[in-house]
A and B are shown apart, each in its own frame.
Chain A
Amino acid sequence: MQDKLKILSAAAKYDVSCSSSGSSRSTPKGGMGNGEASGICHSFTDDGRCVSLLKILLSNVCLFDCAYCSNRRSNDIPRATFRPSEVVNLVLEFYRRNLIEGLFLSSGIFGSVDTTMEALVAVARTLRTEHRFGGYIHLKTIPGASPELVAQAGLYADRLSVNIEIPSEAGLKNLAPEKDYASVFTPMNSIHQGILEHKAESKISRFAPRFSPAGQSTQLIVGASPESDLQILSLASGLYGKQQLKRVYYSGYIPVNRDARLPTLLRPPLRRENRLYQADWLMRFYKFQFDELVDDLHPDLDPDLDPKAAWALRHPERFPVDVNRADLETILRVPGVGVRSAKLIVEGRRHGAVRMEHLKRFGVVLKRARPFLYDPFAIGTYRDFRPERIRPLLASPSESTQLSLFHQPLLLTA
């Protein structure tokens, strides 16, 4: 059991999604477990990411041969398969000790796409119906799975996800010959359809069954193929708009295989991944459109600046902002101001003028925000706005300049 768990959890670790939020399921009668809408982290790994679910593969035997995946057919690695009862038992015992919020179950493709999907659904069904388990279940939908199985999965799972992995169809075809965009988008669209239909039903009857109440998510691998940030963010923005995804995850490519089709990287593009997440946050919580952050002139995000600061410096006509007069949306766009502090500012100014000392208390990062703010009563804020002076204050040294330190002798001789 120890070995199986080791193999099948290591095989699942490159799937970055581990959230348990968005679903408030109540504990079934006579059962155990519920869903906490805010999500709960039970531990954190060395990279600082939340461990919330038991994230495992049912099996790492796989018929497919995707270049970026460590479980591909042509890799010579130890293979293992869980019996469904083993997974069920592990989930219940871990849950009872408060180690996890629930299960994230995915799998390599054994037998056929539909046999695999059916096995995943069976585990969720056993947990929900036999053991009356109310905790969180995230099921991975296998690309190409039949709509009937997806419809069943949605009734037991809190969240479903289909991974796009490569942000362009040509790239996906090249790296994963057995997959295409149709096999990814068909289940994604049918999940979206299912969510909409069940929502409509729940308006008529409160006893209507719920379908994937925490929505669906997907993952894009960054840096394994040549797409620009513009392509990635426009794809993500479409997914949020059209398929109404809850989350798009970005996974900086980590070379697990030697393959001529893949780039050789010194280290995973973590900073790029971080900038993409920042941009994603701006789209979801700060009302930014993707084309405000990247466009044909700037197809990639600036690695040295966070995307909000980069946008602000390109738009001097919008600054400086007076927090006592501006509306919430304008305040949200000031670098160093978060959603929480913006709301506190708007709440606070109902009682009087908001001054610099209040901003600090509200959690505004003044070091970043001050150049973008104007307060006629504060010392050190200015009515004129000069991006070229502000940029050096905000930029963080990039990976490339850090690297070039080692090459300095070369530069000197040149």
Chain B
Amino acid sequence: MNAVMPEIVDQRTPLVVVHPGGFDGFLTAVCEALRLNLPVDRIESLDAYEPGLFETTRSVDTDTDLAQRAAARILWLCGEDILSMIRAAFLSELPGIQSVVWRVLRGLLRDGNAGRGRNILDADTHATLAAAEKTRHEAHRFRGFVRFSKAPDGSLFSVIAPDHDILELLASHFAARFPNETWMIADAKRGRCLRHAKGELEILSVDTASLPKESKAVESLASMTDKGFQELWQTYYQSINIVERANPKLLARNLPRKYWRYLPERSSPLRGH
């Protein structure tokens, strides 16, 4: 009797689409939500999803091909900048941001309202833009705060634990800057690692336990063979300070405390912090 309706979905309770994670997973979930043509309230990654009471959940598996077609359609409809904004907003990993981006995408893809991607008066579009800017801002900060230590074999190694998933935003910058070096940037929070060797870039998953823990990252890195230049850098940092100009407020704004642990010159016991 239900041959025309492939599944029965209870329309009275909120509907959530859950996907395995990653941007492709998210786009798959968006496509699924569009296909259902029902008022989907939320889209969540599996690892961040906490089922609420009275919710109907629908799981999807990542369909890379479908996701790429969705991305191509967004690109065609609204242009490069909007696609990259949506991607950066997704990478922000802010709670609830996927549902916000879903509402924007619903307007774009279902209603064909390409202008919606740029209508910053719309609260969802503005929230997407704001999330994207947060991610990009942190990526910009880490272009400066990533600190490489030189391992005995000459390769460079760094551990970070950023708020947002910025590894892929760092890739092209460091690849262009150090094309002939072997280097690695590990994200201790997400257990992933950006690796560059012989001009090849790859993102690997690593065991979080094998990485130095965030707070100890600085110390254990300094204990590698690279102490000499660490100390020279700390000397430099201390001697350029102008005591008469101290301005803790401005410092806190430009360099929030959460970043100090990456910077030996600010987290070293020498300074008493």
Query: Is B265 a contact of A14 with CB atoms below 8 Å?
Result: no
Instruction: Find A99's partner among B118, B130, B233, B250 (CB 8 Å cutoff).
Output: B233
In the bound assembly, the distance between CA atoms of A362 and B133 in angstroms comes to 12
Q: How far is the CA of A390 from the CA of B112 in the complex (A)?
A: 47
Annotate A45-67 by CB proximity to B: 1 below 8 A, 0 otherwise.
11111111011000000000000
What's the least CB distance linking A236 to chain B, in Å?
A: 21
Given A45-B240, A99-B233, do A347 and B118 touch, yes or no (CB 8 Å)?
yes
Question: B143 interface residue, CB < 8 Å from A?
Answer: yes
A96 on interface, CB distance cutoff 8 Å: yes
Q: Which residues of A contact B265 (CB under 8 A)?
A: 43
Interface residues of B in 234-263 (CB under 8 A from A): 235-237, 239-255, 263
B144 at the interface (CB under 8 A from A): yes
Once bound together, how far apart are the Cα atoms of A98 and B149, in whole Å? Answer: 9
Q: Do B237 and A98 touch (CB < 8 A)? A: no
- Find out whether the CB atom of B147 lies under 8 angstroms from the CB atom of A99: yes
**What residue of chain B has the Cβ atom nearest to residue A40's Cβ?**
B144
B-contact bits for A350-361, CB 8 A (1 contact / 0 none)? 011010001001
Tell me whether A40 and B149 are in contact (CB under 8 A): no
Inter-subunit contact A45/B242 (CB<8 Å): yes
B146 to chain A, nearest CB (A): 5
Alpha-carbon distance A12/B150, docked complex (angstroms): 28
CA distance A236 to B118 in the complex (A): 39
- Interface with B: A27-35, A156-164, A292-300, A401-409, which one? A27-35
Which residues from B are CB-within-8-Å of A32? 177-181
A410 CB-CB contact with B under 8 Å? no
Other-chain contact of A254, B122, B144, B245 (Cβ < 8 Å): B245
Query: Is there contact, CB below 8 Å, between B250 and A47?
Result: yes
Q: Which residue of B lies closest to A357 (CB)?
A: B123
- What is the number of residues of chain B that contact chain A, defined by CB distance less than 8 Å? 56
Q: When each residue 301-343 of chain A gets 1 if its CB lies under 8 Å from chain B and 0 otherwise, what string results?
A: 0000000000000000000000000000000000000000000
Which residue, B242, B251, B254, has most C-beta atoms of chain A within 10 A? Answer: B242
B236-A42 in contact (CB<8A) = no
A26 to B246, CA, bound (A): 36
Instruction: Check if A42 sits within 8 Å of B144, measured CB to CB.
Output: yes
> Given A32-B177, A34-B176, A42-B144: A344 and B120 within 8 A (CB)?
yes
B176 contacts across to A, CB distance below 8 A: 26-27, 34
Q: Is the CB of B115 within 8 A of A27?
A: no
Of B130, B243, B251, the most chain A CB neighbours within 10 A belong to B251
What is the minimal beta-carbon distance from A19 to any residue of chain B, in angstroms? 13
Any A CB within 8 A of the CB of B232: yes
Q: With contacts A94-B229, A96-B148 known, is A47 near B242, CB below 8 A?
A: yes
User: Does A48 lie within 8 Å of B249, measured CB to CB?
Assistant: yes
Please determine whether B254 and A44 come into contact, CB atoms closer than 8 angstroms: yes
Residues of A within 8 A of B141 (CB): 41
Contact of A50 among B122, B126, B179, B254 (CB under 8 A): B254
CB<8 Å pairs between A and B, sample of 11: A2-B231, A32-B177, A42-B144, A44-B255, A45-B240, A90-B232, A96-B156, A96-B181, A97-B149, A99-B233, A348-B120
